[in-house]
A and B are shown apart, each in its own frame.
Chain A
Amino acid sequence: MKYMIMMFGDQATMVEVKSPEWIKNMLEFMTKIDGELREAGELVEANGLADPTLAKTVRIENGVPVATDGPFAEAKESLAGYWVVDVTDERAIEIASQCVTVTGEPVEVRQVMDAPPENLSEL
């Protein structure tokens, strides 16, 4: 089964709130876990996202799509990066737990909708 493990936050908050040790530990952890997931054949993909201050929101204004800066939502709700891993649900939680232990910040685990359908069509 595939799971997306998501981390949240932004640069400004991190620099303001976190210590250099925290940042160093976090980066070390990211490199380590990335290598482990790759080597184990568990990693499907991983990406970090550009800072939310660079985000654009596209919405309909007067009937046409218009791009504006932002959303500037609360930084802690901004997606910062994600892994997609192909593992059991226990293992997904275990990877997320490692991440949380190092960063102290919550991460979200969501299953990817790629399961084959079961025998529902036999109803």
Chain B
Amino acid sequence: MRSEPQVEGLLRELAPQVLGALVRRHGRFDACEDAVQEALLAATLQWAVEGVPDSPRSWLLTVADRRLVDEWRSESARRRREETAATLELPGRGQPSDQDDTLTLLFLCCHPSLSVPSQLALTLRAVGGLSTAEIANAFLVPEATMAQRISRAKQSIKSTGIRFDLPPEPERADRLRVVMHVLYLVYNEGYTTSSGPALHRADLTTEAIRLTRMLHQLMPREGEVAGLLALMLLTDARRAARTDAEGSLVPLAEQQRGRWNTAQIEEGVALVTRTLGKAPIGPYQLQAAIAAVHDEAPSAGETDWPQILALYEVLEQVSPGPVVTLNRAVALAMVNGPRAGLALLGTLDSDDRMAHTHRLEAVRGHLLELAGDPVAAREAYQRAARMTASVPEQRYLALRATRLG
């Protein structure tokens, strides 16, 4: 008999396939999604006792289908006529594969007409197979709030008449960018301390990697999808070393590199190496390449900063923005000295997108410290500590400021 985590993994993998098949059969995404959630719950309870059935996919499909039919029987005749109409609107092509369905679902949940929090919540539920309670926990909101958010998102899909079909070719690249951004946001939400009040968010990191891995398998030729997966793996590889025993942030230069996850680093490096040069270059591939340079350095002192600087220069060409400039300033400081980095930072002071963020001041504090100006560094760290909305970050910045006092 399979262990509990294996069953959960199987269910989560099958969830989008079953939902896709059901939507294709009946139309009406919202009702189908509820039915699949109920089938997942039934499976969790029943399979734990009776074991996994021979064809788990058919089992889930049958149970979800029955729930749906029961539900509709109890509705009024008027509603049933609407269902029939909805079914007729389905695209009339041949039997698509489960892979197509999963991809279509991902595009649907990340539809640009939905708000970003709705895209995140819906993707985690419909594609990730997470329960509303699990998603609510991860985002630190009450379950009722998350339930309402998901229900709103589903209503919105229904009322705008979004079809269950892959986006047409001319829109495909833009829509894929939205999907990747949603997965990146899920990852970032989880990219955090491994202890303290934000403990359960680590699950989001794992889930983002799982979904991105799935997307990469569905679209192996998309260089940016491969880049995104590599970036997640290479960054997540440092998770255990990123916080100390008290849950405080440990900067990269002070991390115990022996605690990095070498298997994840190897996988990420292999992905980047395979992808770079074969597909059109993009920001995720470049960020992954930068993460790989960090991860491959045996010690902080041996980091190949000239290469990181060169990569940031390319990134700034491909995808210019104040955050990229900020990071390039750090690399520049490591290559040409802190004053060079500080001069580049100065160009961001007039940028409205940066002027009110703590990141600019945190980096300034760091570079001023390297430049041997503890008084100005302390002030910058204090400004940064006041501006952040993250508790671990605030503690880290306050500590750095007091250390210079």
Contacts and interface: CB of A to CB of B under 8 A. Distances in A.
B24 interface: no
Given A113-B394, A114-B389, A121 B242 contact: yes
B191 interface: yes
A112 interface: yes
Interface stretch (B27-35, B75-83, B145-153, B172-180): B145-153
Interface residues of B, number: 46
A123 B253 contact: yes
A121 B291 CA distance: 13
Contact of B362 (A39, A86, A115, A123): A123
A112 B391 CA distance: 10
Interface stretch (B2-10, B57-65, B123-131, B134-142): B134-142
Contacts of B190: 116
Contact of A120 (B140, B197, B362): B362
A42 B139 CA distance: 12
B198 A118 contact: no
B343 interface: no
Name the residue among A86, A113, A115 with the largest chain B CB count within 10 angstroms.
Answer: A115
Contacts of A41: 117, 145-152
Contacts of B294: 122
A5 B145 CA distance: 17
Contacts of A123: 251-253, 330, 362-363, 366
A44 interface: yes
B201 interface: yes
Contacts of B382: none
Contact of A86 (B117, B144, B152, B363): B117
If over half of B's interface residues share one DSSP class (helix, strand or loop), that class is named, otherwise mixed; here it is helix
A60 B127 CA distance: 55
B193 interface: yes
Contact of A121 (B141, B146, B252): B252
B251 A116 contact: no
Given A86-B145, A123-B363, A113 B391 contact: yes
A114 B141 CA distance: 11
Interface in A51-103: 86
A43 interface: yes
A70 to B, nearest CB: 30
B249 A116 contact: no
A45 B142 CA distance: 8
Interface string B193-211: 1000110010000000000
A117 interface: yes
Interface string B176-193: 000000000000111111
Interface of B: 117, 139-142, 144-152, 188-193, 197-198, 201, 235, 242, 249-253, 255, 294, 330, 359, 362-363, 366, 388-394, 396-397
19 contacts: A39-B152, A41-B146, A41-B147, A41-B150, A41-B151, A114-B140, A115-B388, A116-B191, A117-B388, A117-B390, A117-B393, A117-B396, A120-B362, A120-B393, A120-B396, A121-B255, A121-B396, A122-B251, A122-B294
Given A114-B140, A115-B390, A117-B249, 10 more contacts: A2-B140, A39-B148, A42-B145, A114-B198, A116-B189, A116-B192, A117-B393, A118-B359, A120-B359, A122-B251
